[in-house]
A = this chain, B = another copy of it.
């Protein structure tokens, strides 16, 4: 669509930048929490490693907690491994979002995090971050805020899992992804799913086949255009209605 072209330079810039103040993700990452004058201090503790290949891990379950990670480009999946060996996907993280906060609870990670595609990350050693946040109340507050948001996100998901039908769950996920793209000034109606159908099903508590069927149905009813992992939202209002039939419509984000 028309706005896709405009977004390409943003992505490229984000990959190139080596400090927060010039990073394209600046407005959606950590920086809004700190004064401009303090930004260089934050900058100085951040490590920018080379990009991770698809399938490479940021950290593994039970590893000691060393850092939190800001996604710069690509996408990350967090999951836990259950006693029986099965996997439970606990979240997806897109550029500008912070991964690894789960470890604050017990000193070690309660989940693993893996790159879903080639992914660039900023590593923020927790010891440094904690020290810095002592000096900068705004940063400390932001940290707590991020954790609070994680809690709220999780509770939203609990709600989906315990009360919503397959269609409602998938429509909600698509709207969430759409909103997060919009936040980064990317096209909100056209995007690529970084995760497999199987990951989606796992995350939403559905069988792969059900995910597939729902996509097909949403396509047949003209709500979506689906081409593999490429998604186009054709009728956003209808999609909102599918996501929350109870809602009195028209409080549908963006159109």
Interface residues of A (CB under 8 A from B): 80, 82-86, 88, 90, 101-106, 110-111, 130, 133-134, 137, 140-141, 143-152, 154-155, 157-159, 161-163, 202-205, 244-248
Partner of A158 from the list B105, B157, B248 (CB cut-off 8 Å) is B157
In this complex, what residue of B is CB-closest to A155?
B90
**Which residues from B are CB-within-8-Å of A103?**
148
CB distance from A188 to the nearest CB of B (A): 21
Count of identical protomers in the assembly: 2
CB contact under 8 A between A143 and B145, given known A86-B163, A151-B151:
no
Partner of A134 from the list B134, B149, B150, B245 (CB cut-off 8 Å) is B134
CB contact under 8 A between A104 and B161, given known A83-B247, A154-B155, A247-B84:
no
CB contact under 8 A between A102 and B246, given known A140-B140, A147-B144, A159-B82:
no
- C-alpha spacing A73/B111, complex, angstroms: 33
In this complex, what residue of B is CB-closest to A134?
B137
Partner of A147 from the list B85, B147, B155 (CB cut-off 8 Å) is B147
A-B contact pairs, 22 of them (CB 8 A): A82-B163, A83-B244, A83-B246, A83-B247, A84-B246, A88-B158, A101-B151, A102-B151, A102-B155, A104-B144, A104-B148, A105-B149, A105-B150, A106-B148, A130-B140, A130-B141, A133-B140, A140-B140, A144-B147, A150-B151, A161-B205, A162-B205
- C-alpha spacing A162/B144, complex, angstroms: 27
CB contact under 8 A between A154 and B158, given known A141-B130, A163-B88:
yes
In this complex, what residue of B is CB-closest to A245?
B84
Partner of A154 from the list B154, B247, B248 (CB cut-off 8 Å) is B154
Please state if A102 and B152 are interface contacts (CB–CB under 8 Å). yes
